[in-house]
Structure 1
């Protein structure tokens, strides 16, 4: 198989020419038919292939993540229906329960992600979904704080590797320049879930029964999650080049695309010692520092948006209803920035913009009299969701774009994403009941993390620009990341041909 240079606008940008040797030299991919050039793949072939994967893969993954976000974040909605009083929580116990979730979430994410790489995300992801759906179902039967604490531990364990594995899974289907908008479509399900959870809670809390309304919330969401997990186990394809919904020629093209613009070795076996080499790179620690700065505002919005909106003086039912629009706005902003990022082949400027919006949103809410000026306060809630949505997706895309080794890619993602979620421990302990109704210390702390993230992103992006220029000067060429095939980048920045994907 050969892909003609210049037939695809993306490939023309990338400066890549693919020959049969890219596929035939590997044992993992489909056999490539050599011979005449009558059926050379073109831009239209790639476009049709990408669209077919979009339609068959993204909706299912998006629904899976929607349930993931619902099952993780429904405690905030349940609390507005007085779950804490019904279960006899003592002061501080609700925050402790939120915090305990993140301990197993961080501890188990790397090993489960590595198992996902070994046995395939197409199998591990539905199993994880079945587990966290079951935990949500069981939460409807708890009688006290300790029972819910135990369930939150196992919920954190079962959700730990879900997002990292989805990110890795999508990198095996899409080229680097296609990834951000696909991840954004997938991640928008989280914002929709946050919006839907408020709307759904609004409806559920109108149920009149001897059973507390918040228990119905867990029953309905948990049951739906379990049923969809069973469907996903049957449906998800193992890899792009083994997808049941592709023709043989499409599988060959899918394999070649990943070989030249995603992975150095497609389908490479996971070797722990080699995968851990990613932690020797200074850039990896820069990415992890940004994840920490992102985690606090991201988790603050995810866990406490109902309480932030409630500070405007709304009733319980209206509070849940009014969380819908900001989360929908966050999903829209995420898609806008992600599509713009893929179009420009730039990541860090849009990540920095997200951090800036986060900072402004929390500072605005903290400094204005939002109780008497609902318009300003509610607008600040929109800015919070705008700022926290986009950086999460684009940051994961940024460092995955710069790692051609599949094992190292899944390793850094399995550390970075849970690290951001670990900051939920900070968020859940800075939003204290004694600071009601406005949570001023929490707002200032969250804004500070947003400002720090903005600075670190600009510093790391500036270093990459400088290093690319240095490498070009040393080689006497003018190359960008899109000009170098990932097949040459097994050693990452140690390769002389390496260029940072900005």
Structure 2
């Protein structure tokens, strides 16, 4: 009897196993659908919001260059005695200082800004930074001279530093490492749109007939909506997966599960151990050394592109502002493409090297081409702007990917951007007015900066690849699943660097 029942028992167990496997597959399919639905909603909530905010941040940061063409530098008295037509204009060095001082405030507040995201609810910290820089932007219309304009610009930079640095950290709370590149594009991509729209808005404002000077209208039109958006963020943005009011039920559980897959150390605050680890990590300084020339190139473009284009032969300020639109529009699509492919292939270094190489060649051509080759030079501008701006997302994603855990990431990203943005200060001196219209020295300096990026990126990629191979030989292949980075961050067993 026993022997007769055995085949039936075996058959029954086989059916049960098949049913169990089928149910597991169904559950996994349901889970996958639920996660995709959650991700779509998460993207709809976070990405448009931070895109719009960074659009206005970059608009308010860069509108000083458009305002210059609308008469700002001709309205400020260098003796700090007043504003009005007929008074002395800002000298070349004073104008460069006005551009530069913004980055001083930015650099000084980037580490505190990044820590603020870790200590305070991110939605409130974001609103504080946004409303602060919006007020400073509008207050530029009240500047009564060179010194007061400097004060407005340094506080504008300070509030933008409190906001912008920690956004990459904020995104890392919600997205995994292989999802960061494209999401950082939606954060940084609006820099190119802002450049394009900034030119269009300035072109339109330049045709307004009003009692108020056009450059003042520009600051008002671009500053007030930003303040209102900052207040709206208090309601709109979720704080962190473990404490949020935007997701309920199953989606709230998915948010926490995804967070715990990436981080084992939930909570807030900065651990002293990770503070020391971040500031003692030579790789962070290597990445900052890569970002420094990138930041110098971006600041030189945002501060001087309208003037450079005007000197190419577009004689009126309004036409020069309008001709800044195509380079920035092309930059948006290049940034999107490179961000997508760098995420898809989980690769950062080669993307950065190729882009920087294109930028170096274009800068060399700008320096070498004769002044009469206006169309060829403008074509180079239309290629150099996209190649430089597209360096932004992969470089930020690269450093965020490799810092290990949440606490170290908060410190590391602030230090990385602060050190790198020293290059932004240097970039404001690439194109002194006395070298117009050729700007040969400035183009060669920019070419050298781009070449420096290529060299540093390739060396850093080589080291990370070698380190991954060393860990692979010691630890064996990484098993799919959670890696405990609570204590050791990127030094944890099983952690592999993205190259």
Q: Is the 8 A contact 1:301 1:384 kept in 2?
A: no
Which residue in 2 is equivalent to 1:399?
Answer: 399
1:212-261 alpha-carbon deviations (Å, 9 max, x no partner): 1000000111111111111112211111344433232111111111222x
Which residue in 1 is equivalent to 2:15?
Answer: none
Give the Cα separation in 2 of the matches to 1:487 and 1:259: 10
Give the Cα separation in 2 of the matches to 1:463 and 1:201: 46
Residues 494 and 237 of structure 1: CA distance in aligned 2, closer, same or farther (over 3 Å): closer
Q: Is the 8 A contact 1:97 1:149 kept in 2?
A: yes
Structure of larger gyration radius: 2
Which residue in 2 is equivalent to 1:124?
Answer: 125
Which residue in 2 is equivalent to 1:409?
Answer: 409
Q: How does 1:128-143 map to 2 (within 5 A)?
A: 128-143=129-144
Give the Cα separation in 2 of the matches to 1:253 and 1:276: 32
Give the Cα separation in 1 of the matches to 2:480 and 2:295: 33
How far residue 273 of structure 1 moved from its aligned partner, in angstroms, is: 5.0
Give the Cα separation in 2 of the matches to 1:421 and 1:376: 31
Residues 484 and 293 of structure 1: CA distance in aligned 2, closer, same or farther (over 3 Å): farther
Which residue in 1 is equivalent to 2:84?
Answer: none
Which residue in 2 is equivalent to 1:204?
Answer: 205
Where do 5+ consecutive residues of structure 2 fail to align? Answer: 1-23, 78-88
1:377-399 alpha-carbon deviations (Å, 9 max, x no partner): 12211222222222221111111
Which residue in 2 is equivalent to 1:492?
Answer: 489
How far residue 433 of structure 1 moved from its aligned partner, in angstroms, is: 1.1
Give the Cα separation in 1 of the matches to 2:90 and 2:385: 31
Which residue in 2 is equivalent to 1:352?
Answer: 353
Residues 431 and 483 of structure 1: CA distance in aligned 2, closer, same or farther (over 3 Å): farther
1:26-67 alpha-carbon deviations (Å, 9 max, x no partner): xxxxxxxxxx99855633222211111111111111111111
Which residue in 2 is equivalent to 1:229?
Answer: 230
Which residue in 1 is equivalent to 2:389?
Answer: 389
Which residue in 2 is equivalent to 1:458?
Answer: 458
Give the Cα separation in 2 of the matches to 1:488 and 1:66: 34
Confirm whether residue 297 of structure 1 aligns to residue 297 of structure 2. yes
Give the Cα separation in 2 of the matches to 1:467 and 1:241: 33
How far residue 404 of structure 1 moved from its aligned partner, in angstroms, is: 2.5
How far residue 489 of structure 1 moved from its aligned partner, in angstroms, is: 6.3
Give the Cα separation in 2 of the matches to 1:268 and 1:219: 37
Give the Cα separation in 2 of the matches to 1:376 and 1:258: 50
How far residue 153 of structure 1 moved from its aligned partner, in angstroms, is: 1.4
Q: How does 1:55-204 map to 2 (within 5 A)?
A: 55-88=44-77, 89-91=89-91, 92-204=93-205
Give the Cα separation in 2 of the matches to 1:44 and 1:469: 35
Q: Is the 8 A contact 1:404 1:486 kept in 2?
A: no
Give the Cα separation in 1 of the matches to 2:415 and 2:458: 22
Residues 48 and 328 of structure 1: CA distance in aligned 2, closer, same or farther (over 3 Å): same
How far residue 456 of structure 1 moved from its aligned partner, in angstroms, is: 0.5
Give the Cα separation in 2 of the matches to 1:483 and 1:473: 17
Q: Is the 8 A contact 1:326 1:385 kept in 2?
A: yes
Q: Is the 8 A contact 2:119 2:268 kept in 1?
A: no
Instruction: Describe the SS at the equivalent of 2:208.
Output: coil
Which residue in 1 is equivalent to 2:285?
Answer: 285
Q: Is the 8 A contact 1:354 1:391 kept in 2?
A: yes
How far residue 483 of structure 1 moved from its aligned partner, in angstroms, is: 4.4
Farther-moved stretch of structure 1 (446-455 vs 388-397): 388-397
Give the Cα separation in 1 of the matches to 2:352 and 2:450: 11
Give the Cα separation in 1 of the matches to 2:270 and 2:485: 19
Confirm whether residue 329 of structure 1 aligns to residue 341 of structure 2. no
Instruction: Describe the SS at the equivalent of 1:378.
Output: helix
Q: Is the 8 A contact 1:489 1:498 kept in 2?
A: no
1:164-208 alpha-carbon deviations (Å, 9 max, x no partner): 211111101111111110110221111101110000000001111
**TM norm structure 2:** 0.88
Instruction: Describe the SS at the equivalent of 1:423.
Output: helix
Instruction: Describe the SS at the equivalent of 2:239.
Output: coil
Q: How does 1:367-378 map to 2 (within 5 A)?
A: 367-369=368-370, 371-378=371-378
1:354-412 alpha-carbon deviations (Å, 9 max, x no partner): 2112212211211112x433332122112222222222211111111112221210111
Give the Cα separation in 2 of the matches to 1:333 and 1:238: 31
How far residue 437 of structure 1 moved from its aligned partner, in angstroms, is: 1.0
How far residue 493 of structure 1 moved from its aligned partner, in angstroms, is: 4.2
Aligned partner of 2:34 among 17, 41, 45? 45
Give the Cα separation in 2 of the matches to 1:381 and 1:223: 32
Give the Cα separation in 2 of the matches to 1:395 and 1:156: 21
How far residue 264 of structure 1 moved from its aligned partner, in angstroms, is: 3.5
How far residue 276 of structure 1 moved from its aligned partner, in angstroms, is: 3.1
Where do 5+ consecutive residues of structure 1 fail to align? Answer: 1-35
Q: Kindly report the root-mean-square deviation, in angstroms, between the aligned alpha carbons of the 2 structures.
A: 1.9
Give the Cα separation in 2 of the matches to 1:401 and 1:235: 26
Instruction: Describe the SS at the equivalent of 1:438.
Output: coil
Count of residue correspondences: 462
